[in-house]
Homo-oligomer: A and B are copies of this chain.
């Protein structure tokens, strides 16, 4: 029986427990029986015998769970095999970093959707996992349900990855592709995206390329390029004009926010992309292209984020740990 502890119980954590319950029989065929032994956030928790749907209902209604014990207390006190860590990303690592450290030191596997701890302490955490003979999995941090991390980490192991490039932020891609299609200025499309809930009230984390840079740091480290957040050259999309799209289109190009990692550079910036290229996608989609020496380029595309997309990636990590 695999005992799963969940910390962070916002959209991502709730999506994870919901999808896991919905797909229980399929997942159990792959990994064996499992049980969620606790769910916690930074201030409250529920453990022992409880119903997932009641926990979700309680959190939605009151903003908290049944008991006063915190995520950190449960990680320290409870017996479990794998921590599913869904805290909100803070680039300095935040609470998530402390949770993950604690769980790894206890000899538990960790599956996280949280970019912060990996951006802040990739090497330290991977070393810690390896010292304790456990896995630290983070497919959900980049590209939603797409198997981006898994490709980089395991399935292209036979290949020399020379360059990884991608459209890693759905909000920017939505804004740029709307600007292209409608010939509208940046500010106008940004407002529209904010109304639709695609962009935040403070959009800087997305439109200045911060989110894409964080993901690029994770991707780069995964393919063996040591990278810190400060190493990324970064430029956002707010200065792109409809005219730029018109000029690009004359030559068969569009403009996308491209994140690129190679031995030579780490860059997030708006760039010209040929319209037939896999990275020229529209809407909130994400895509990643791996250029390999042996097997050409391999592209993956899909929704970059979303409740069940992220949940699907975390479940695939569980499958990867236990169905080997």
Contact of A295 among B295, B302, B320 (CB under 8 A): B302
Would you call A244 an interface residue if the criterion is a C-beta within 8 Å of the partner chain's C-beta atoms? no
Would you call A145 an interface residue if the criterion is a C-beta within 8 Å of the partner chain's C-beta atoms? yes
Interchain nearest-CB distance for A135 vs B (Å)? 10
Q: Contact at A316–B146, with CB atoms within 8 Å?
A: no
The interface centre, meaning the residue of A300, A315, A321, A323 with most chain B CB atoms within 10 A of its CB, is A300
A275-316 toward B: CB 8 Å interface, digit per residue (1/0)?
010100010000000001011111111110010110110011
Categorize the interface residue count of chain A.
35 or more
Oligomeric state, in copies:
2
Contact of A27 among B158, B276, B294, B316 (CB under 8 A): B158
Contact of A298 among B158, B302, B308 (CB under 8 A): B302
| B residues in contact with A295, CB < 8 Å | 144-145, 302-303, 306, 308-309, 312
Contact of A312 among B150, B294, B297, B303 (CB under 8 A): B294
A residues 9-30 in Cβ contact with B at 8 Å: 19-20, 23, 26-27, 30
Q: Contact at B303–A300, with CB atoms within 8 Å?
A: no
Q: Contact at A296–B309, with CB atoms within 8 Å?
A: yes
Q: Contact at A308–B320, with CB atoms within 8 Å?
A: no
Closest to A31 in B: B157
A303 to B156, CA, bound (A): 14
- Interface SS, A side: mixed
Q: Contact at A147–B158, with CB atoms within 8 Å?
A: no
Q: Contact at A298–B145, with CB atoms within 8 Å?
A: yes
Q: Can you list 16 A-B contacts (CB < 8 A)?
A: A19-B294, A145-B292, A150-B155, A154-B319, A159-B312, A276-B282, A278-B278, A294-B311, A294-B312, A295-B306, A296-B302, A296-B303, A299-B299, A300-B300, A301-B301, A322-B324
- Given A278-B301, A294-B309, list of 14 further CB < 8 A pairs? A26-B157, A27-B157, A27-B158, A30-B157, A154-B319, A154-B323, A156-B316, A157-B316, A158-B311, A294-B312, A295-B306, A299-B300, A301-B301, A323-B324
Top 9 A-B pairs ranked by shortest CB distance? A324-B324, A158-B315, A145-B295, A298-B302, A294-B308, A155-B316, A158-B312, A296-B303, A299-B301
